[in-house]
């Protein structure tokens, strides 16, 4: 057992560590990291880092090497090999203060035009070989100036500032992409954003007044359109109401005609029933009269006539007395005999007529 262990067992504290020991360790670690970072960041260092979203391009003696490294740590020869990181993700280049003259000679300035672009990874070597690391100066910054000036010189201020301003973005994008596809196929133009150009103050006031007048005209046209739509709507509603009323009137007229037709048919049926009933009554009356006539003919006998004569005399309240009474009675009997003979003659004529019809 050593001296320190013996002191611990006896209850005595061990001697304190020398001050500043932990701080010295921290300083040492920091110094190591600083040295590594200095070595990595130094252009003459052997070790270097390619950041994410970039690839490493190398020049040896001023000549571009066809070695393209991915992100991470890599080695190179100091003082002989030069290294540059090249971005292959989306990047936005801002082109500022672009003056141009319109077709009418008015000078305007575009404050800022943003170009979103990307360099394809498989075209890095070819693009750097032809146009260098600052390839975007040639195909974006300088190209934007050229295309904007060409666009302005072929259009009037009215067209550039108002009429076709919304088309400038697409036109610039198509123009840049067309040349890049032809000469630098590795550069891909994603989009172009153009800000409103600055124009002279006097011209701007004129445009504002024109815009106010145009707004008034548009408001008047919109009011006219609304009025026309309202009139057309009212017309459609009136036509619809008239058609509805016409249909209702037609239905009511058809209903009345059907009622009239039903009443006419009912009346015809009643008339037919009445005619049939009257005919039946007439036939019955005729039959009754015919039978009464036949019965009367059968009653016309001398005895019946004499009986009727006697009943009439009996029912008569006036009685005349005189010499002529017997003669009167006798005359009545003669009258009865005469009527009997007439009846017999009539019956014989009827029988003869019926016999002729039968023959």
Domains and CATH numbers, the chain: 27-87 (no CATH), 88-199 (3.30.479.30), 300-354 (no CATH)
> H-type helices in the chain, by residue range?
3-9, 21-41, 124-131, 135-136, 142-153, 157-158, 168-183, 201-299, 302-315, 325-358
Among 259, 152, 135, residue whose Cα is nearest residue 186 = 135
Main-chain phi, psi angles of 57, to 5 degrees: -110, 145
> Rounded to whole angstroms, how far apart are CA atoms 48 and 40?
5
What tens-digit pLDDT sequence spans the chain (359 residues)? Answer: 444 444 434 444 444 444 444 666 677 655 564 445 445 455 567 888 999 999 999 999 889 998 899 999 988 888 888 889 999 999 999 999 999 999 888 899 999 999 999 999 999 999 999 999 999 999 999 999 999 999 999 999 888 988 899 999 999 999 999 999 999 999 999 999 999 998 888 887 887 788 788 888 989 999 999 999 999 999 999 999 999 999 999 999 999 999 999 998 999 999 999 999 988 898 888 888 888 888 877 777 777 777 777 877 777 656 555 555 555 544 555 555 555 565 565 555 544 444 343 33
Residue found under tokens 């707004």: 215
302 contacts 336 by C-beta, under 8 angstroms: yes
Other Cβ atoms closer than 10 A to 168: 21
Residue found under tokens 């003459």: 44
Q: What are the structure tokens assigned to 144, written together?
A: 């934007």
Q: pTM value?
A: 0.50
Query: What local confidence, expressed as pLDDT, does residue 79 receive?
Result: 83
Residue 167: helix, strand or coil by DSSP? helix
Cα 218 from chain centroid?
Answer: 26
C-alpha distances out from residue 326 to 62, 107, 303, Å:
191, 165, 19
Q: What is the largest CA-CA distance in the chain?
A: 214
Query: What local confidence, expressed as pLDDT, does residue 47 receive?
Result: 87
308 contacts 302 by C-beta, under 8 angstroms: no
Query: What local confidence, expressed as pLDDT, does residue 54 receive?
Result: 94
Q: What are the structure tokens assigned to 206, written together?
A: 């004129």
């Amino acid at each position: 057992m050593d001296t320190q262990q013996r002191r611990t067992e006896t209850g005595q504290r061990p001697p304190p560590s020398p001050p500043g020991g932990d701080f010295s360790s921290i300083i040492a670690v920091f110094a190591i990291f600083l040295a590594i970072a200095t070595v990595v960041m130094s252009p003459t260092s052997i070790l270097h880092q390619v950041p994410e979203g970039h690839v490493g391009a190398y020049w040896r003696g001023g000549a571009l090497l066809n070695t393209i490294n991915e992100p991470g740590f890599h080695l190179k020869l100091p003082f002989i090999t030069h290294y540059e990181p090249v971005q292959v993700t989306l990047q936005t280049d801002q082109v500022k203060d672009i003056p141009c003259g319109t077709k009418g000679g008015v000078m305007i300035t575009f404050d800022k035009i943003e170009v979103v672009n990307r360099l394809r990874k498989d075209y890095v070597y070819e693009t750097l070989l032809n146009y260098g690391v600052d390839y975007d100066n040639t195909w974006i910054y300088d190209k934007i100036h050229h295309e904007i000036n060409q666009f302005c010189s072929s259009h009037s201020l009215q067209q550039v500032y108002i009429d076709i301003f919304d088309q400038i973005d697409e036109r610039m994008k198509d123009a840049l992409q067309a040349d890049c596809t032809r000469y630098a196929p590795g550069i891909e133009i994603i989009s172009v954003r153009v800000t409103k150009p600055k124009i002279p103050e006097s011209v701007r006031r004129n445009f504002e007044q024109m815009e106010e007048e145009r707004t008034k005209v548009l408001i008047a046209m919109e009011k006219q359109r609304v009025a026309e739509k309202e009139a057309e709507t009212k017309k459609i509603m009136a036509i619809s109401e008239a058609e509805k009323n016409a249909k209702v009137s037609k239905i009511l007229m058809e209903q009345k005609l059907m009622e009239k037709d039903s009443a006419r048919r009912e009346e015809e049926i009643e008339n037919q029933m009445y005619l049939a009933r009257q005919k039946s009554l007439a036939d019955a009356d005729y039959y009754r009269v015919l039978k009464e006539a036949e019965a009367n003919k059968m009653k016309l006998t001398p005895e019946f006539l004499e009986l009727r004569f006697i009943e009439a005399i009996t029912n008569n309240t006036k009685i005349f007395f005189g010499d002529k009474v017997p003669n009167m009675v006798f005359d009545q009997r003669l009258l009865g005999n005469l009527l009997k003979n007439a009846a017999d003659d009539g019956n014989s004529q009827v029988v003869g007529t019926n016999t002729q019809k039968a023959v």
